[in-house]
Chain A
């Protein structure tokens, strides 16, 4: 593969020549990981292409572009808060912006309960060394064979850092808006960390947007620790344009009796790959992973999950649903591993797809590896079309075919949206889904930028 080789060599050059800039503002811990990670990336063959875990993800066209990489924080000449409003009606959030993977220095960090730290990742790697060192790059090992995660570790310089100490409940959700804005095709590597101590509680809403019509490639990674008896809710709304690609790898490590609820909504994007890892490391964890994707044109959405039941008496639920139109492609691979000691595990997984055309495609693959004998596990996948009985029923009520189809698609998606616990956010996502299905969301609808794509 000549093209692949060239891409990998370009990364090698970039890594070599960018050494100094890469290291400049980052703490030792981050820099110490780079060499090993990049070595592993190359040893794995570079960008994964047609490998087992990326079998149906067409990564080559995604990487085969002349992206720029910005290895230094650039101050934005405009007030992004003015430029962009990602507002959820009736939901008060504390807002943080990143741009092209960098924590925006002008962010006004909201007032927080004592001990809570919210800052840029680079800053945390220097200033909060002890906490940082304890966690950075500790939870990505299940993806050691994934070159793209290694690539993030090699190049990551910034992102969002959140630390919630023991016994602290963050009342208001934190909203992280990841913006992409450039005047050339751009690649970025954002790295985030969220650490919750014991008996803590936090909610983070992540929104991805694009502010210019350039091609973007974001290869992001997030490490999350949910401490003993803590609860963390993670909502992610991916709404970019057709020329935007993203690899979103999230690694969660759960401690005793903790709870993690995630809901990843892929509304729009050219290529979206979610790698969702959860390690249930101690007894009594609950992990709920939900995902929804709405794709048309030639979009690709790829969800890869890995739930590792390490300790006994943990429960995991996974439910991913998608609606695919035109020549869209969706892949789902859900891995559940139940280790020998993880007795009394309950692990469930479902993937349901609605195909609207003959050219839309879905590949769905459950992978269950069960090494304990007293467990309850199930998995199921469906690929179907619009239910003709339901269609006729709606039409006999005077609802036209197009509207009936929309209603059913909306209903199909709503099962996932309905899992969102914050009521105003649920209503907003329902609204976005409705707009998306009606084709009114080809760009961020409340964005004042008027991108062409």
Chain B
């Protein structure tokens, strides 16, 4: 199976400061990758660069998604190609109801793919089914997007959107932060239920706990803008036990 996502020697900087210093990563369809690493390693920058945030400048390298040059596409087209980012801090958008937002997002994506708008009569039914997946209160539908939502509701809402948009590649950026254990379980089980042989997930996290529920196929450690270690899921337990210092030492002594 050809790689869904291929990142080659990716360098990115913000305000002239280089954050990503040569990332190589390949994600195949059906895989779950975890990207772990200490604070400031560049984890969130990587997700921002992949999803098209314009404040970062890509200075070197390539990113291919299903054979398309991702770096040439604006953020909305990357989403329409099937990339989804679950935000670490979902943004509140006053006055825009969750249901209208979803309808617009779904139909804009469908338009890009040459499909007619989602049949209005079936839309709400589909929405309700997806809500059950992450046990979201249906009253949230008519409320302004994320406005006044609790931390847990916001994260559940991200996974709910993911369920509705059915991306090929989902990037979960610190989705576990700010979640209590019950919400964490719900979110993780939602992600697991959405797992299919033809889609992939990148879980970006600092801690082990989310990975107890979403079991990765491959684990990468990102440190100082590079992927410095790649292994199987057993690496998670090792990192939890020993922290990141031993990796930092390994890297620094190799310099």
A interface residue numbers (CB < 8 A to B): 387, 389-390, 392-401, 403-404, 407-408, 410-415, 418
Which residues of chain A are near B108, meaning CB under 8 Å? 398-400, 403
Are A398 and B112 interface neighbours, CB within 8 A? Answer: yes
Are B96 and A408 interface neighbours, CB within 8 A? Answer: yes
- Of A396, A397, A400, A413, the contact of B101 (CB 8 Å cutoff): A397
CB contact under 8 A between A398 and B80, given known A403-B108, A407-B104: yes
Which residues of chain A are near B75, meaning CB under 8 Å? 392, 395-396
Are A398 and B93 interface neighbours, CB within 8 A? Answer: no
Are A393 and B95 interface neighbours, CB within 8 A? Answer: no
Q: Does B161 contact A (CB under 8 A)?
A: yes
CB contact under 8 A between A396 and B95, given known A401-B76, A403-B104, A403-B108: no
Are A395 and B91 interface neighbours, CB within 8 A? Answer: no
Which residues of chain B are near A400, meaning CB under 8 Å? 76, 108
Q: Does B244 contact A (CB under 8 A)?
A: no
- Of B52, B95, B105, B112, the contact of A397 (CB 8 Å cutoff): B105
Are B90 and A397 interface neighbours, CB within 8 A? Answer: no
Extra contacts, 8 of them, besides A393-B90, A398-B165 (Cβ < 8 A), are: A387-B91, A389-B91, A392-B75, A392-B91, A396-B79, A397-B79, A397-B101, A411-B94
CB-contacts of B64-91 with A (<8 A): 74-76, 78-80, 84-85, 87, 90-91
Q: List 11 A-B contacts (CB under 8 A).
A: A390-B93, A395-B74, A396-B52, A396-B79, A398-B105, A400-B108, A401-B74, A407-B100, A408-B96, A415-B95, A418-B95
Which residues of chain B are near A389, meaning CB under 8 Å? 91
Q: Contact string, B144-157, partner A, CB cutoff 8 A, digits 1/0?
A: 10000000000000
**Most chain-B Cβ atoms within 10 A of its Cβ — which of A390, A399, A404?**
A399
CB contact under 8 A between A393 and B87, given known A400-B76, A401-B76, A403-B108: yes
Are B165 and A411 interface neighbours, CB within 8 A? Answer: no
Smallest CB-CB separation from B86: which chain A residue?
Answer: A396
Are B93 and A399 interface neighbours, CB within 8 A? Answer: no
Are B93 and A411 interface neighbours, CB within 8 A? Answer: yes
B interface residue numbers (CB < 8 A to A): 51-54, 74-76, 78-80, 84-85, 87, 90-96, 100-101, 104-105, 108-109, 112, 144, 161, 165
CB distance from A143 to the nearest CB of B (A): 33
Smallest CB-CB separation from B80: which chain A residue?
Answer: A398
Which residues of chain B are near A407, meaning CB under 8 Å? 93, 96, 100-101, 104
Are B144 and A411 interface neighbours, CB within 8 A? Answer: yes
Are A412 and B76 interface neighbours, CB within 8 A? Answer: no
Are A395 and B165 interface neighbours, CB within 8 A? Answer: no
CB contact under 8 A between A395 and B105, given known A401-B76, A413-B95: no
CB distance from A48 to the nearest CB of B (A): 35
CB contact under 8 A between A392 and B53, given known A398-B105, A399-B76, A411-B144: yes
Nearest first, the 6 A-B pairs at minimum CB distance are A411-B95, A414-B95, A398-B79, A411-B96, A395-B75, A397-B105
Smallest CB-CB separation from B110: which chain A residue?
Answer: A398
CA distance A398 to B54 in the complex (A): 15
- Of A398, A410, A411, A418, the contact of B109 (CB 8 Å cutoff): A398
**Most chain-A Cβ atoms within 10 A of its Cβ — which of B78, B104, B144?**
B104
CA distance A407 to B90 in the complex (A): 17
Which residues of chain A are near B94, meaning CB under 8 Å? 411-412, 414-415
**Most chain-B Cβ atoms within 10 A of its Cβ — which of A393, A398, A413?**
A398
CA distance A401 to B79 in the complex (A): 13
Are A393 and B91 interface neighbours, CB within 8 A? Answer: yes
CA distance A413 to B161 in the complex (A): 25
CA distance A404 to B108 in the complex (A): 11
Are B144 and A399 interface neighbours, CB within 8 A? Answer: no
CA distance A410 to B95 in the complex (A): 7
CA distance A277 to B76 in the complex (A): 47
Which residues of chain B are near A403, meaning CB under 8 Å? 104, 108
